[in-house]
Amino acid sequence: MLIDNLKLDIAEPWQKRFQDAASDLMFKIRVLHDQVMFYIILILGIVGWLILKIILTFNSNKKIISHKFSNHNTIIETIWTIIPIVILLLIAFPSFKLLYLTDEVLNPQFTLKIIARQWYWSYQYSDYSLNNSESLSFDSYMVNSDDLDKGDFRLLEVDNKIILPVGSRIRIIVSSGDVIHCWTIPSLGVKIDAVPGRLNQASFIINRTGLFFGACSEICGAQHGYMPISMQSVNLENYISWINSHFE
């Protein structure tokens, strides 16, 4: 089921920045990235200025002998030891906070089980079943280039998209049926390994409707590049209608 006016979250040619954030988690990742880049630019600017100052002041043509104050000074050495420590702490605390947020799963409203296979994805909506029968599940294969319609994206389109609601906490449980894979959607800030014999989990809240693309980001074999992920976020009413349509 598709809706009109979808905003496509997809990588663009020569893109240098993150894709637009579609979850609070991805927004926090972008904020941390911008903070770290600020410190990097600040450090490069100061260090570059110092190197340039040294080159211009103490070159062999001027024959200037540096003063002892410039070479051996307790105050200067204390300052350039403390400042890097402070900068590292300013980066470490937000990083640890974000790291714990990525692993936190609190009161999920919906659960999506993901099984990685060579080379496609299997999805199971384990919250729903009809008359105690099997849960809603389906496989998702990449659409071959010869079968693409006009406007489709090569190597990203799948025959069965994931449909998830906006504004609800969603838990994903990820595993693998063969080798190690990695389920990744950049716009949501989700990147979780699919390991055989192990269940990994993560959670997120989608902030807006849209069509999001991802792919397996683990080198999993000969057809590693043919495991795309396509997910559409809809409002809760459309999500319920989509679920009911599979049990009619």
Q: Look up the domain containing 200 and give its range.
A: 110-245
| Region 70-96 average pLDDT | 85
Q: Which of 28-32, 74-78, 94-98 has the lowest mean pLDDT?
A: 74-78
pLDDT confidence bin for 234, thresholds 50/70/90: very high
| Residue 185, domain CATH | 2.60.40.420
What kind and span of H or E run contains 146?
Answer: none
Do 51 and 76 reside in the same domain of the chain?
yes
Q: What is the pLDDT of residues 211-220, one digit of tens each?
A: 999 999 999 8
pLDDT of residue 173: 95
How many Å apart are CA 154 and CA 7, to the nearest integer? 18
Task: In whole angstroms, give the CA distance from residue 209 to residue 196.
Answer: 32
For residue 44, what is the domain's CATH number? 1.10.287.90
Asked whether residue 88 falls in the same domain as residue 118, the answer is no
pLDDT tens profile 111-155: 999 999 999 999 999 888 766 667 788 999 999 988 888 888 888
**Beta partners for residue 135, in sequence order:** 129
Whether the CB-CB separation of 141 and 120 falls below 8 Å is answered with: yes
Residues 196 and 86 reside in one and the same domain: no
Residue at a domain's end among 55, 82, 103: 103
Same domain membership, residue 118 and residue 83: no
84 & 137 share domain: no
116 inside domain:
yes
Q: Does the residue 51 lie in any domain? A: yes
* Same domain, yes or no: 46 and 132: no
> Peptide bond preceding 121: is omega within 30 degrees of 0, i.e. cis?
no
Write out the H or E segment, with its range, that includes residue 137.
strand 135-140
Identify whether 181 is part of a domain. yes
Last residue of a domain, one of 81, 103, 125: 103
Token pair for 147 = 């079968």
| Structure confidence at residue 5 (pLDDT) | 47
Binned at pLDDT 50, 70 and 90, residue 3 comes out as: very low
The pLDDT of residue 1 is 46
The answer to whether residues 92 and 166 belong to one domain is no
In a domain, 11, yes or no: no
From 84, 103, 122, give the residue that closes a domain: 103
Distance CA 49, CA 26 (A): 35
> Is position 40 within any domain?
yes
The answer on 85 and 163 residing in a single domain is: no
Q: Residue 239 — very low, low, confident or very high, per pLDDT cuts 50/70/90? A: very high
Residue the block writes with tokens 């927004």: 27
Q: Within a domain: residue 214?
A: yes
What's the pTM?
A: 0.81
3-class DSSP assignment, residue 91: helix
The region of weakest confidence among 5-14, 42-51, 158-167 is: 5-14
- Do the beta carbons of residue 85 and residue 94 sit within 8 Å? no
Report how far apart, in Å, the C-alpha atoms of 93 and of each of 21, 32, 89, 99, 139 are: 22, 10, 6, 10, 40
Within-domain flag for 43 = yes
Residues 94 and 152 in one domain: no
H or E segment to which residue 125 belongs: strand 120-129
Do 99 and 128 sit in the same domain of this protein? no
CB 61 within 8 A of CB 117: no
**186-206, pLDDT tens digit by residue?**
999 999 999 999 999 999 999
